[in-house]
């Protein structure tokens, strides 16, 4: 963790890069997933971390982005999401329960809690979301969090993310809900769009795992499976206080150990095929403290105590005993499920349908790529003195007044890693493509071509390597890329020689 003074200095430096009077542009999961897909792009990492509006910057540079959703698509998506979440999210939770197929009891009418997540500012909403998740997990009941806010550290800068919804299960697990407006026909949808939704959900999963770890449960894949938690719940109330002394057969069993439906239903619904049981998982310290807490108020050892307990008919004492047993029961642990619920319109209608999507692969890739990102303070420290991306907008906040030459120099001061895939994910892709083409860099041809060419980084170097050798020379040069290029050039020359009217290679 960075010292407070260093964090304050970083925020001040990012504000200078963005512009002192400019409101930071929030980073959403879609932008974060695109950044994770191209971790070598320092330009995007710095601009996103500083909160620079890349769309406005691209327009000021004269290379606006040509992708995005239309106003009609936004309205259709918002109306579909409102329909899915109607009636307090009861239909949404019902869809989730149907797709789980884990044999658990479905939620009844009014059993889905919808906590209020309103708070001032992103930091306030993040803290309120964490508190609501903790309360819903400890309550051991169904809960739907509508547009919660979580934070994730990206290259040393916090990013605030807002999933469509998060469902808390009675067993303490959490499921991310991703609502999209593209259709799902016969249970299948466009693979490219499903993959993009899975990458966004993986970003949400990373952020929620951090919240779950603070509540007390490690991320899914470690301790916390049904097999490891079932003995703790069932054995804790009946375990004797002294491990060397046998249990008293006359001592009555506390009523909450078997009467509480949440305690019996929790382990049964906790099993997740994506998370194998860990037999070496350490026991929960709260579970080992539960027997002592139960035995402290009223010792039940001995025949006299058993007779007195049997003869007692005081309802207040029985209520106090049940409350004590519930409070001493091992707390339900939080964990994030690695299967997200993707909700889409069914067959081009406005009726919702859903399928579970496994995001373990996207989660591993996103975690690895984010770890590869260069820290923002290192990128900012390498910039020339006085570099800023401030557009110096007019009073109406729409027209930039800064010269294009200054903006271009500021943007070019940060190294980019362009690829054709950026055209559909980054607002500055058109500007970066023009730069790559002007410099003759092979990145403009795609990552696959760039990887095959090895140390040949420009188109001129590739042409010299392919055509620079003597005619008919077939001896290897030691460079696989050069040898392959010369072999391809020789084959092309043979093909052109067989057709005298063909255009020669230039």
pLDDT bin (cut points 50, 70, 90) of residue 161 is very high
pLDDT tens string 21-55: 888 888 888 888 888 888 889 999 999 989 999 99
Instruction: Say what the pLDDT of residue 21 is.
Output: 84
Does residue 104 contact residue 97 with C-beta atoms inside 8 Å?
yes
Across all residues in the chain, what is the average pLDDT?
A: 77
| Predicted local confidence at residue 108, as pLDDT | 84
As a residue count, the chain comes to 506
The predicted structure's pLDDT at residue 506: 55
pLDDT band at 232 (very low <50, low <70, confident <90, very high): very low
Greatest mean pLDDT among 211-225, 295-309, 380-394: 380-394
Report which of residues 453 and 302 the model is more confident about: 453
Q: What is the pLDDT of residues 246-257, one digit of tens each?
A: 444 334 444 333
Percent with pLDDT over 70 in the chain:
72
- The pLDDT, as a whole number, for residue 475 is 59
The stretches of 329-414 forming alpha helices (DSSP H) are 360-372, 376-381, 404-412
Q: What was the pLDDT predicted at 104?
A: 79
How much is the pLDDT for 9?
78
What average pLDDT score do residues 224-250 get? 37
pLDDT digits over 175-203, tens only?
Answer: 999 999 999 998 889 998 999 999 999 99
Among 118-127, 327-336, 369-378, which range has the highest average pLDDT? 118-127
Strand (E) or helix (H) holding 127:
helix 121-139
Residue 61 in this model has a pLDDT that exceeds 70: yes
Which pLDDT band, with edges at 50, 70 and 90, does 166 fall under? very high
Do the beta carbons of residue 143 and residue 166 sit within 8 Å?
A: no
> DSSP letter at 468?
S
Model confidence at 208, pLDDT cuts 50, 70, 90, reads very high
Report the distance separating Cα 388 and Cα 22, nearest Å. Answer: 12
Count of Cβ atoms closer than 10 Å to residue 145 Cβ: 22
Domain ranges of the chain: 4-69+374-444, 77-222+335-365, 226-328, 451-497
HSE on the CB side for 424, CA within 13 Å? 7
Q: Does residue 389 surpass a pLDDT of 90?
A: yes
Q: How many CB atoms lie within 10 A of CB 177?
A: 26
Tokens of 184: 């799902």
Asked if the model's pLDDT at residue 6 lies above 60, the reply is no
Q: What is the mean pLDDT of residues 472-500?
A: 80
Could you tell me what percent of the chain has a pLDDT over 90?
41
pLDDT grade, residue 383 (50/70/90)? very high
* pLDDT of 415 higher than 90: yes
Please state which of the four CATH numbers 1.10.150, 3.90.320, 3.40.50, 3.30.1370 is assigned to the domain occupying 77-222+335-365: 3.90.320
């Amino acid at each position: 963790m960075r010292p407070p003074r260093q964090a304050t200095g970083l925020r001040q430096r990012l504000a200078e890069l963005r512009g002192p009077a400019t409101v930071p542009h929030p980073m959403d999961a879609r932008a974060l997933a695109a950044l994770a897909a191209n971790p070598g792009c320092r330009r995007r990492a710095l601009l996103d971390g500083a909160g620079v509006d890349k769309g406005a910057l691209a327009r000021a540079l004269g290379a606006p982005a040509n992708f995005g959703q239309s106003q009609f698509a936004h309205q259709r998506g918002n109306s579909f999401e409102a329909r899915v979440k109607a009636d307090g999210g009861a239909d949404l939770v019902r869809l989730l329960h149907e797709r789980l197929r884990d044999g658990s009891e479905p939620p009844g009418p009014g059993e889905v809690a919808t906590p209020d997540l309103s708070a001032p500012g992103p930091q306030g909403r993040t803290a309120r979301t964490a508190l609501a998740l903790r309360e819903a997990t400890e309550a051991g009941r169904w809960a739907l969090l509508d547009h919660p806010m979580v934070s994730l550290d990206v290259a040393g800068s916090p990013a605030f993310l807002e999933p469509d919804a998060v469902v808390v299960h009675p067993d303490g697990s959490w499921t991310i809900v991703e609502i999209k407006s593209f259709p799902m026909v016969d249970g299948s949808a466009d693979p490219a769009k499903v993959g993009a939704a899975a990458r966004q959900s993986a970003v949400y999963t990373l952020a929620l795992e951090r919240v779950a770890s603070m509540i007390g449960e490690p991320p899914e894949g470690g301790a916390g499976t049904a097999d490891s938690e079932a003995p703790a719940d069932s054995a804790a109330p009946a375990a004797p206080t002294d491990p060397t002394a046998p249990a008293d057969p006359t001592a009555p069993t506390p009523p909450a150990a078997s009467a509480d439906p949440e305690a019996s239903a929790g382990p049964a619904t906790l099993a997740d095929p994506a998370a194998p049981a860990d037999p070496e998982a350490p026991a929960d310290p709260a579970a080992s403290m539960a027997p002592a807490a139960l035995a402290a108020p009223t010792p039940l050892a001995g025949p006299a105590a058993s007779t007195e307990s049997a003869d007692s008919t005081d309802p207040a004492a029985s209520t106090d005993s049940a409350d004590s047993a519930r409070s001493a029961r091992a707390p339900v642990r939080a964990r994030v499920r690695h299967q997200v619920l993707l909700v889409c319109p069914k067959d081009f209608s406005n009726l919702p349908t859903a399928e579970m999507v496994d995001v373990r692969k996207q989660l591993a890739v996103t975690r690895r790529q984010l770890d590869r990102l260069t820290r923002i303070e290192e990128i900012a420290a390498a910039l020339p003195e006085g570099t800023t991306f401030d557009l110096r907008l007019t009073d109406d906040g729409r027209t930039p007044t800064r010269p294009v030459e200054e903006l271009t120099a500021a943007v070019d001061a940060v190294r980019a890693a362009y690829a054709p895939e950026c055209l559909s994910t980054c607002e500055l892709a058109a500007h970066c493509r023009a730069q790559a083409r002007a410099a003759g860099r092979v990145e403009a041809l795609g990552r696959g071509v760039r990887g095959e060419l090895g140390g040949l980084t420009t188109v001129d170097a590739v042409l010299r390597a392919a055509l620079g050798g003597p005619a008919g020379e077939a001896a290897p040069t030691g460079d696989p890329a050069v040898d392959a290029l010369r072999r391809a050039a020789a084959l092309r020359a043979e093909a052109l020689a067989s057709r005298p009217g063909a255009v020669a290679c230039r």
